Amino acid sequence: MVGAGVAASTAGHVRAESSAPHSQGAAAMEDPREKYPKPPFKSQQQPWPGLARDMDPRPDHGEKSYKGSGRLQGRKALITGGDSGMGRAAAIAYAREGADVAINYFPSEEADAREVVEIIQQAGRKGFPIPGDLREEAFCERLVAEAVQKLGGLDIVVCNAGRQQAKQSILDISTEDFDATMKTNLYAPFWIIKAALPHLKAGACIIGTTSEQAYDPSPDLYDYAQTKAATMNYVKSLAKQLGGRGIRVNGVAPGPIWTPLQVSGGATQQKLQHFGGQTSLGRPGQPAELASIYVQLAASDASFATGNIYGSGGGTGQP
């Protein structure tokens, strides 16, 4: 399932490549083990929610590598957590595929968000920053209304923003911490999707970001893992509910990906230094390596894909 989706997407944005294996213009083969940095990584910590620009090494979101081919021409997308991580990678890819994009982010992530909007505009598309706290229902409703107004409609909704804070014991998780994780990861998609549905027509799509944690939870991510299992299930439930309206719903389940989640409380310093080393490729993934999945799930040629979870885990994640 994943292979088919990624293969279709990859074919879409490198279609200039000839079928002849050694012909002029053929894409160079790359060893996936050596494509990006491997652990050990330097110890580093940022206040939540963290900035990609301050990470060492800095994550790759496809800023220089992603090439579009018009697969989302004229589409209108809202992406939460669009300043960094998979949300940023999706925003860049969507713009280069021809979509206009509104991104939401926490106000302290403004520096990262401005970079994304600039990249969107450099691609010749409209980009709109909409900062705010997704833990507030009223803001989630305003977010959708503002995105619809600025974009002139809405047909792609990516609920990607997430809160992850590692705690060694359930006894270390306060009610306030638990509530913040639930509201960011579960309540916000609920509020956003409810507000967006009246604007979505047949052919529109909703994409949720779940995780390998939904299938194989870590002991120190008790609350976060629960929300990712719930994300997987709301994707499958909504797909059945909205299929009759011609609206597709799918999810992406990343494995260990190098994002600000890890350096802003999502991983212990010991885990951070060896982050991704347990994968079959010996390294963490980069957000850019998932961009094509988000494109494929939004593209019209994926019209039979709904209710599915697409993984990218470096050989360790599920599905």
Q: How confident is the model at residue 316 (pLDDT cuts 50, 70, 90)?
A: confident
pLDDT at residue number 260: 95
Inform me whether the pLDDT recorded for 191 exceeds 80: yes
For the chain, the domains span: 70-312
pLDDT at residue number 4: 39
Inform me whether the pLDDT recorded for 76 exceeds 90: yes
* Mean pLDDT (the chain, rounded): 92
> How far is residue 37's CA from residue 42's CA, in Å, rounded to a whole number?
12
Query: Phi and psi for 222 in degrees, rounded to 5?
Result: -50, -50
Inform me whether the pLDDT recorded for 9 exceeds 50: no
Alpha carbon of residue 211 to chain centroid: 10
Average pLDDT for 21-37: 81
Treating both helix axes as pointing N-terminal to C-terminal, what angle do 222-242 and 175-182 enclose, rounded to 10 degrees? 30
Q: Is the distance from CB of 102 to CB of 130 less than 8 angstroms?
A: yes
> How far is residue 241's CA from residue 244's CA, in Å, rounded to a whole number?
7
Tell me the residue ranges of DSSP E strands in 187-290.
Answer: 205-209, 248-254
Share of the chain above pLDDT 90, in %: 90
Inform me whether the pLDDT recorded for 17 exceeds 50: no
> How far is residue 128's CA from residue 130's CA, in Å, rounded to a whole number?
6
Cβ-based neighbours of 32, under 8 Å, separated by 6 or more: 281
pLDDT at residue number 214: 95
> How far is residue 196's CA from residue 259's CA, in Å, rounded to a whole number?
27
The per-residue pLDDT for range 131-160, each reduced to its tens digit, is: 999 999 999 999 999 999 999 999 999 999
The residue that leads in pLDDT, 25 or 59, is: 59
pLDDT at residue number 319: 66
Q: How confident is the model at residue 25 (pLDDT cuts 50, 70, 90)?
A: confident
Which of 92-106, 164-178, 247-261, 304-318 shows the lowest mean pLDDT across its residues?
304-318
Q: How confident is the model at residue 28 (pLDDT cuts 50, 70, 90)?
A: confident
pLDDT at residue number 2: 37
Inform me whether the pLDDT recorded for 207 exceeds 70: yes
> How far is residue 173's CA from residue 224's CA, in Å, rounded to a whole number?
11
pLDDT at residue number 22: 45
Cβ-based neighbours of 20, under 8 Å, separated by 6 or more: 26
> How far is residue 80's CA from residue 90's CA, in Å, rounded to a whole number?
10
- Of residues 211, 216, 218, the one with CA closest to residue 251: 211
Domain 70-312 is in which class?
alpha beta
Sequence letter at residue 306 = T
> How far is residue 314's CA from residue 161's CA, in Å, rounded to a whole number?
22
Inform me whether the pLDDT recorded for 3 exceeds 70: no
pLDDT at residue number 140: 98
pLDDT at residue number 13: 40
Q: Return the biggest CA–CA distance within the chain.
A: 61
pTM of the model as a whole: 0.91
Q: Is the distance from CB of 317 to CB of 276 less than 8 angstroms?
A: no
Inform me whether the pLDDT recorded for 49 exceeds 70: yes
Inform me whether the pLDDT recorded for 23 exceeds 60: no
> How far is residue 262's CA from residue 271's CA, in Å, rounded to a whole number?
9
Average pLDDT for 50-73: 96
Tell me the residue ranges of DSSP E strands in the chain.
Answer: 76-80, 100-105, 127-131, 156-159, 205-209, 248-254, 309-312
pLDDT at residue number 120: 98
Active site residue 36: no
Inform me whether the pLDDT recorded for 31 exceeds 70: yes
CA–CA distance from 6 to each of 1, 50, 253, 289 (Å)? 9, 29, 13, 10
Which SS3 state, helix, strand or coil, does residue 287 take? helix
Average pLDDT for 261-276: 94
Identify the active-site residue in 36, 66, 215, 224. 224
Inform me whether the pLDDT recorded for 26 exceeds 60: yes
Segment 42-46 long-range contacts (CB within 8 Å, at least 24 positions apart)? 42/273, 43/269, 43/272, 43/273, 44/263, 44/272, 45/263, 45/264, 45/269, 46/260, 46/263, 46/264
Q: How confident is the model at residue 250 (pLDDT cuts 50, 70, 90)?
A: very high
